[in-house]
Chain A
Amino acid sequence: MAMTSTSPHSGRTIRMGRMTRHNLLMGLLFISPWLIGFLILTLYPIVASAYYSLTRYDAISPPEFVGLGNYVDLFTKNPLFWQAVGNTVYYAAIAIPLNICIAIGVALLLNMEVRGRSIYRTIFFLPSIVPDIAAAMLWAWILNPQFGLANAMLKALGLPTIGWLTDPDWSKPSLILINAWAFGGSVVIFLAALQDIPRQLYEAADLDGANAWVRTRYITLPMLTPVIFFNLINGIIGAFQYFTNAYVITGGQGGPAGSTTFYSLLLYRNAFSYFKMGYASAMAWILFAAVFVMTLLLFKSSGRWVYYEGGDNN
């Protein structure tokens, strides 16, 4: 927008300036719905939530400033907080790698030019669009300890039955299993990425006498790393917000014995059952910081293991 009258083509420069200003106005006009929404429904809430996290606030009487009291309380006096952190880390540490591994495995199989590929793809994809509430109800029934299908199948195979969602040791694996059923979206993405790998790479490897393992390890996997990276980031953000299935299946209780009280469930309970809005806001900010740090670390590490085609790894 700076208009330099010293320019030899000053007339032109001024016109460009007017053009720039026109473009700025048009640009802002076009993005204005989002911009207004961003200010009211994102930026203000972020600032407000940071402030609430320093207060005691029941959503009715005005917030009462308590400094870092909520944070201190969470970190030092609330065992449930640490249990929720533990549950969430447990869930993320198993569910994310598991889903990525299954998705890559299935995508590799589908990429072998198998017949009926689109039918298989449809079958694997469908569960991922089933509403959470319906999936939770269905799986609560399948995993019913007495009359459920899962235990009936175990019995038929001569295996001992499992308490599934009613057993504190099995409740998290059960939820991970339910989540794994809905892995289909990532299969589609991995399959597309596999089909994008240039054939010449494999042909060149064949000439060098590389076997299937070498081809997978040194061509396929490196070419998939950007998608793995994308899935990891999404998986982490998703796992720390994991809520619906656990909430629905346990009736909001996060049981048995707190074994499915995930971070977002505990946060929701503090905010909307106990109306401890300040306390819940502090939890939200701890979550925000944790997700931010992990995403940052992943981005920092990505230079070492994520391969971007065409080059400069930055």
Chain B
Amino acid sequence: MATVTSSTLSPSASRAGARARGVKKGLRKLPAYVLLTLLAILFTIPFAWLISTSLKDPKQIFVVPPEWIPNPFVWSNYPRSTTFIPFWRYFGNTLYVTLFNVIASVVVCSFVAYGFARIKWPGRNIVFLVLISTLMIPYPVTLIPTFLIFRDLGLVNTLNALTVPALFGSAFYIFLLRQFYLTIPQELSQAAKIDGASEFQIYWKIILPLAKPALAVVALFAFIANWNDFLGPLIFLNDKNNYTLAIGLYGFFGRSRTEWGLLMAAATLMISPVIILFFLTQRTFIEGITLTGLTG
């Protein structure tokens, strides 16, 4: 219809033709829209089901066939799930480990990456190759001796077991930051050196401010990785007081496999910070993922 009206109004027949072609092109995309929308629905259903279940009591949960809209809405699952297990204690532990590791990763990795990207020293490329190849080592190879070292140092069963490694940086973040540092023009460093700046001053006053986007990516990745980490807490924590959310929820899941309403409420609470963070930082996030995939 739009084309008909436009052709009667438009003095230029060729422009109308172009529009008609535009609509035709739109029609050609129809299957794409249908497919994408179907897939999008399929991918959203689990989230919807999570929220729906978290607002039902057992009577509504075990109904066949299941109903999507809770009737009535059982909000009490949320407060109950936080008292059923010491949820806020786990939350606090997780937040502590996560924030500590985010800060440590940003500080340490940005420092180490400077040594790999902005200073030329003999042997640098070989050492960098070693750093890259550590990314390929499967964690089971180092896991057992690391556990034994941490045990002998008295770190096992403390949150320090989860935070101390971050003080030594992470090869992946160092790699990302190094790639970013390499794109900063060398002239900036040289000019600063002529003015008598030390390497540390160049790192602190020139490189760090320019690397903010990359540092944000590292902070985001470190946040997600630590918030979600399951294996670390599983191996290093035994005392329930030290549990993080991941391992605390696992215990909850093991004990009460039929309390789906409470379990889904607790899972929703654990997921929310990550989802909120994503929506607040979407651009940085997508750029970060792109960076990892295209420079790798």
Contact = CB atoms under 8 A, between A and B. Distances in A.
A204 to B, nearest CB: 20
B40 A120 contact: yes
Contact of A114 (B29, B64, B122): B29
A41 B168 contact: yes
Contacts of A45: 141-146, 149
Interface string B59-77: 0011011100000000000
Contacts of B120: 23, 27
B50 interface: yes
B293 A137 contact: no
Nearest to B52: A149
B112 A127 contact: no
B290 A147 contact: no
Interface string A123-149: 111110111111001111110001101
Contacts of A84: none
Contacts of B87: none
B253 interface: yes
A152 interface: yes
Contacts of B296: 230
A192 B36 contact: no
Interface string A48-61: 11001000000100
A183 to B, nearest CB: 9
Contacts of B35: 109
Contacts of A26: 115, 119, 121, 199
B121 A20 contact: yes
A34 B142 CA distance: 16
Contact of B228 (A131, A271, A287): A131
Contacts of A114: 29, 32-33, 36
B141 A129 contact: no
A260 B103 CA distance: 37
A59 B142 contact: no
Contacts of B147: 271
B205 to A, nearest CB: 15
B136 A291 contact: yes
Contacts of B47: 126-127
A23 B140 contact: no
Interface string B252-296: 011000001001100100110011001000100010011011101
B293 A192 contact: yes
A271 B144 contact: yes
Contact of B235 (A127, A227, A272, A295): A272
Which among B33, B35, B123, B165 has the highest number of chain A CB atoms within 10 Å? B33
A112 B254 CA distance: 45
A46 B121 contact: no
B290 A24 contact: no
A287 B139 CA distance: 10
Nearest to B169: A34
Interface in B200-249: 203, 224, 227-228, 230-231, 234-235, 245-247, 249
A281 B138 CA distance: 12
A34 B64 contact: no
A280 interface: yes
Given A126-B47, A155-B65, A186 B293 contact: yes
A147 B141 CA distance: 41
Nearest to B289: A188
A196 interface: yes
A138 B144 contact: no
A181 B40 contact: no
Interface string B148-187: 1101000000000000010111010010000000000000
B290 A192 contact: yes
B23 interface: no
Nearest to A106: B39
Contacts of A52: 144-145
A126 B282 CA distance: 10
Contacts of A23: 119-121
A34 B235 contact: no
